[in-house]
Structure 1
Amino acid sequence: MSVSNPTLITFVIYIAAMVLIGFMAYRSTNNLSDYILGGRSLGSVVTALSAGASDMSGWLLMGLPGAIYMSGLSESWIAIGLIVGAYLNWLFVAGRLRVQTEHNGDALTLPDYFSSRFEDNSGLLRIISAVVILVFFTIYCASGIVAGARLFESTFGMSYETALWAGAAATIAYTFVGGFLAVSWTDTVQATLMIFALILTPVIVLIATGGLDTTFAAIELQDAGNFDMLKGTTFIGIISLMGWGLGYFGQPHILARFMAADSVKSIANARRISMTWMILCLVGTCAVGFFGIAYFSAHPDVAGPVAENHERVFIELAKILFNPWIAGVLLSAILAAVMSTLSCQLLVCSSALTEDFYKTFLRKGASQLELVWVGRAMVLLVAVVAILIASNPENRVLGLVSYAWAGFGAAFGPVVLISVLWKGMTRDGALAGILVGAITVVVWKHFSIWGLYEIIPGFILGALAIYFVSKAGSPSKGMVSRFEAADEAFKAGH
């Protein structure tokens, strides 16, 4: 496909704006806390939208509409599971984690929080959790780079190798320069762009297919089963899709947003904004795939690219139905979804390497300026490794997203959730929870037992391990008093 100028110009303007935001954030980055958590200064709107954008990667505009286009509404169970999981995460974890991290050594990262919360002087808890973050997130980053490369490849006819670097370069640039503030501010812009695309596109598709009645009739004519939420599903299949919601409790890039909120008072408002944004985006993305069935059955002459790869349904509808300038903005929304998630993941990996290895084990007395620059160097290091993993065009890295999501959800989810709700949890309980959760995911995935998504047994067994191992010991008085002080602060500010 030849380079269409309006689309190319829109992309260039969009990327330049993101890098400019990075340089603006650079001026507000004076120490490691600023670089990793933005100095805990995010208001409710930025907290809400950056949490949403960092969560919703390229699958929101490519994978999910494609699945609905192929199979109908039976694929929407995953959206329901995600909405329930995200809401419970905001309700039970967000505010409590914000105050617990502050009361436990003003922790900047999850390993830092675990180490302080459970008085782990051995460093074992910090090392194991930092290693889990680095392994799963480097794979996760690679999948984001692949998604970005596919977008550039299909939109501008680039070779895969060129597209790989073009897609990753801008994200690396603003994350490198501006750190957490750049990532959060750009996420807010990207979340706005994503919701604009996902509200506008289904409305225009609906108009193009002749309104709601005509569209539904065309979808029914294609296959009446498209309306059946239970078509081709099994009980285990539905539970597995809904199980994605469990992952939220353990995703470091989402939990970092809670830790960075300016106060616990901002959380309730942020929850309302974030959930409204998320529900509108997920309804919009399902509508794009669903209404696309009617559009392409009525216009088989332009259905070729979608028949070849159903994940292109949003891209093709944007290119066919909109003026090239508007199409450029809509396609930038896919880039926004990819960049917003990738930037958060790069930053979490960088903070794990800087705060949890370099500062803790190599240079305890390092200056703040030195730590910020080490953090920047680590962003480049992780990005290069992720690009190398993604560089094989045959690599099925995108399939590993569900694996990484399950890994974090099962290894960290029960530990985070129980640590903010139960004062009786111990260090050994936390260690057992992380190890049992992570090992269960790996073993379950390898043997594909019952076809059940590995996050569900991983989460359940991890939670049981925490409970029984913690019951076998007891927390120190210091751990209990810090927990109670944080809990009081949460209730006072809630």
Structure 2
Amino acid sequence: MTASTPMLITFLVYILGMVLIGFVAYRATRNFDDYILGGRRMGSWVTALSAGASDMSGWLLMGLPGAVFIGGISESWIAIGLVIGAYFNWRWVAGRLRIHTEQNRNALTLPDYFTYRFEDHSKVLRILSALVILLFFTIYCASGVVAGARLFESTFGMDYSTALWVGAAATITYTFFGGFLAVSWTDTVQATLMIFALILTPVFVIIAVGGVDSAMIEVAAKNASNLDMFKNLDLIAIVSLMAWGLGYFGQPHILARFMAADSHHSMANARRISMTWMVFCLGGAVAIGFFGLAYFARFPEQALGVTQNPERVFIELSKLLFNPWIAGVLLSAILAAVMSTLSCQLLVCSSAITEDLYKPFLRKNASQRELVWVGRLMVLAIALIAIVVAMNPENRVLGLVSYAWAGFGAAFGPVVLLSVLWPRMTRNGALAGMLVGAITVIVWKHFGWLGLYEIIPGFLFATLAIVLGSKASPPPSPAMLTRFAQAEQAFAAPRT
């Protein structure tokens, strides 16, 4: 099925709107600090919705509904784990990281922060963390490119290779010009569009099948086990699904939102906004996959698209249930999810190369203008690599995301968490944790031992490595301990 003219117009208006925001942000970007962190002046609403939108990606509207459509309600354990993990990330990390990065020479990136927090004069931490970001974000960016390509392929009848380039073009454009300001402002718009689509669509699916009771009957008639939260799941499988929540502590694109907030005092309000948005969005995504089962059981003649690829369930329902104008708005939500996550991932990769490799090792005295333009060129370079990785049409969004999510969660999660909670942590401990976490994920993914999601052993072994490495190292310097104490004091201080 190809897109009608109203859907095409809706898509074009949306894309042009995002690009326009990028050019407005371009005029507001004065230096590299603005390009990478927006000058640390994001309020609670922008911080909350930008963190949510940058987190959820095309996985929210394609991967998760597709997983529930295939496996039933038991796949919602992922959503439960994510909600728990996100909440504790806001509680334990968000405000503290905002303070600690400022106390440690106003660090703009995670490699910056690790270098200054642990007084790493060798710069090994900076290099290693930048390489981890480039490795796993290239995979993560590829997942966004795949999701965008699937959308354009299904909606406009394009072949997959053409859809790859078209789907990525708008995101690359506004990220290239506007940097962090463009990414944050567009994320806020995109988060609003996503929650609208994820609430409206399941309501209309339920109406189309005759109500919740009729939908439950249809799902049970097709396969009663789809109603079982424990369908084909043992303890290891449930723990693996819920362990997605561990990943939040180490996702650079989400942590950057905390670092860019105008104050750590904004975090409490931002947390409430973000968690409300997240619960509604994840609940809607699960509902789309679940009630989509009922819809296509009732109307099997319309199920060709989801039979070919279950990750298209939201796309197919939108086109079948709504007039083309509304369908265009709803399908733009997928593009919003893809663009919001891909843009901030491209920006984090760009900052890792520019701030953490180019500036310290190649051009220590580079001007602000030069750094901004190098950052823009790096956005293009990483985007092209991600497109090449995504060229295989057999790629699945959820599979690519799960690998990158685990990589960051294990390599950075324990390091970030303990760095803001434990003053006795040392450089050697951070280095050991990062190496052990990344290597464990790669090795465990390859061998698939016990059927356990690789983030769990990666996170546990990395935490153990940090503790042992720190205990075996010389204690932190007095200056390190003083900065930590000052950060904690600032975090506890009431708003003035």
TM-score normalised over the length of structure 1: 0.98
Q: Partner letter of residue 287 of structure 2?
A: A
Q: Are residues 1:75 and 2:75 paired?
A: yes
Deviations 1:262-313 (A, max 9, x none): 0011000000000000000011111111111211111122122222221111
Give the length in aligned residue pairs.
494
Q: Partner letter of residue 490 of structure 1?
A: F
Aligned to 2:483: 482
**Aligned equivalents of 2:289, 2:384: Cα separation in 1:** 34
Aligned to 2:10: 10
Give matches, 1:261-280, under 5 Å: 261-280=261-280
Deviations 1:21-74 (A, max 9, x none): 001111110011100000001000000001000110111111111111222111
**Aligned equivalents of 1:48, 1:166: Cα separation in 2:** 29
C-alpha deviation, 1:13, in angstroms: 0.4
Contact 1:139 1:397 in 2 (8 A): no
**Aligned equivalents of 1:244, 1:161: Cα separation in 2:** 31
Contact 1:425 1:470 in 2 (8 A): yes
Deviations 1:92-144 (A, max 9, x none): 00000000000001000000000000000111100000010011111211121
Aligned to 2:254: 254
Q: Which runs of 5+ in 2 are unaligned?
A: none
Aligned to 1:204: 204
Contact 1:54 1:254 in 2 (8 A): yes
Contact 1:146 1:398 in 2 (8 A): no
Aligned to 1:337: 337
Contact 2:81 2:243 in 1 (8 A): yes
Give matches, 1:77-226, under 5 Å: 77-226=77-226
Q: Partner letter of residue 208 of structure 1?
A: A
Contact 1:433 1:463 in 2 (8 A): yes
Aligned to 2:451: 451
Greater shift after overlay, 308-317 or 186-195? 308-317
C-alpha deviation, 1:147, in angstroms: 1.3
Deviations 1:300-329 (A, max 9, x none): 221222222211111111111101100000
Greater shift after overlay, 106-115 or 444-453? 444-453
Q: Partner letter of residue 175 of structure 2?
A: T
**Aligned equivalents of 1:297, 1:145: Cα separation in 2:** 31
**Aligned equivalents of 2:398, 2:63: Cα separation in 1:** 10
Contact 1:432 1:469 in 2 (8 A): yes
Cα 1:2/1:215, change in 2 over 3 Å: closer
Contact 1:264 1:493 in 2 (8 A): no
Cα 1:396/1:79, change in 2 over 3 Å: closer
C-alpha deviation, 1:358, in angstroms: 1.1
**Aligned equivalents of 1:466, 1:314: Cα separation in 2:** 42
Deviations 1:61-90 (A, max 9, x none): 111111112221111100000000000100
C-alpha deviation, 1:398, in angstroms: 5.5
C-alpha deviation, 1:218, in angstroms: 2.0
Displaced runs of 4+ in structure 1, greater than 4 A? 394-398
Q: Partner letter of residue 140 of structure 1?
A: Y
**Aligned equivalents of 2:394, 2:293: Cα separation in 1:** 29
Identity, in percent, stands at 73
Calculate the aligned-residue CA RMSD, in Å: 1.1
Q: Partner letter of residue 41 of structure 2?
A: S
**Aligned equivalents of 1:395, 1:213: Cα separation in 2:** 36
Q: Partner letter of residue 109 of structure 1?
A: T
Deviations 1:372-419 (A, max 9, x none): 111111111111111222233345675232111111100000000000
Aligned to 2:242: 242
TM-score normalised over the length of structure 2: 0.98
Contact 1:433 1:465 in 2 (8 A): yes
**Aligned equivalents of 1:161, 1:287: Cα separation in 2:** 31
**Aligned equivalents of 1:287, 1:365: Cα separation in 2:** 53
C-alpha deviation, 1:216, in angstroms: 1.8
Give matches, 1:338-357, under 5 Å: 338-357=338-357
